[in-house]
Amino acid sequence: MRTYGGKQLIPGSSTIFFVNDRGYAITCKHVAELLLGAENININFNNFKRERQQFANDGKFKTNVKGLELKYKFNPDTLIQVKNNFIDCVDTMSGFTCHAHPTLDLAIIKFNDYKTLHYQDCARFLKDSSKIKQGKFLCRLGFPFPEFNNFTFNTTTDDIEWTREGISHSPQFPIEGMVTRFLAENNQLYGIELSTPGLRGQSGGPLFDEKGTVYGMQFSTKHLHLGFDIVDKEIMVNNGVKKISDYSFLHLGQCIHVDAIKAFLKQHEVEFYEED
């Protein structure tokens, strides 16, 4: 990604996982919305560049550019470019179809017109969700620490470009968590709360047990104030006295419940697999 005032490109990652061998995957709705919105963001910036190129390089150039920035509502923090790449999914595609859940942070992605699948297997969902109990330890997997650097900024074209050099992958990162509570709205169960946070970049990643059976999908982390506050406490740091303040929070991961995922897949007639 790139902001209007930023001098550096911002790498980021999210997670998807496949539910069958027909190119269907699930992820978070907020991830899918960023993918879908990227084209409009890029088109908007290209239109801005096209208008900017029409200005004469004279004493009025900076004034004209400022007027153009106001027209496009650009400020230093405005996101102006997003370039996406799907890793280990399919060889080529004409695009993808997306079905977003109306209320939950859940979406289905269907890769279109691919020739070869690059993934080896797909999810097996828990068949009997009554087995999910408080105190059970589960694992989430995703890509919270992006290390890929196969991109560059072309100053001539004022554009982000993918390159053949550099690292194209980021390492998988698992994090454990204990089931603490369940999430419901209008007496309808939709989520599982875990004792540890879901990390940035793990959004859309699977929640699974020691056998790999999928129990849900990571979508957010909430923060509960513990009340163990420390204000202006003196401690020794490097042989000197420092005053510190600390406000403690418990960070709890939230996952879409397996039953909600399966119901959404059934609604859109997407084939999936179950395990006991």
pLDDT digits (tens, 9 = 90+) for 110-147: 999 999 999 999 999 999 999 999 999 999 999 999 99
User: What pLDDT does residue 170 have?
Assistant: 92
User: What pLDDT does residue 6 have?
Assistant: 84
Distance, in Å, from the CA atom of 225 to the CA atom of 178, rounded to the nearest integer, reads 19
Tell me the percentage of the chain whose pLDDT exceeds 70: 100
Q: Which domains does the chain have, with CATH numbers?
A: 2-275 (2.40.10.10)
**Average pLDDT of span 67-87:** 95
The model's pTM is 0.89
Burial zone of 215 (CB within 10 Å; 0-12 exposed, 13-18 middle, 19+ buried)? buried
Distance, in Å, from the CA atom of 270 to the CA atom of 111, rounded to the nearest integer, reads 13
7, pLDDT greater than 90: no
φ, ψ (nearest 5 deg) of residue 122: -135, 175
Pick the range with the lowest mean pLDDT from 105-109, 156-160, 175-179. 156-160
Distance, in Å, from the CA atom of 189 to the CA atom of 178, rounded to the nearest integer, reads 18
C-beta separation of 87 from 74 below 8 A: no
User: What pLDDT does residue 8 have?
Assistant: 87
In this structure, the strands spanning 124-126 and 273-275 are: parallel
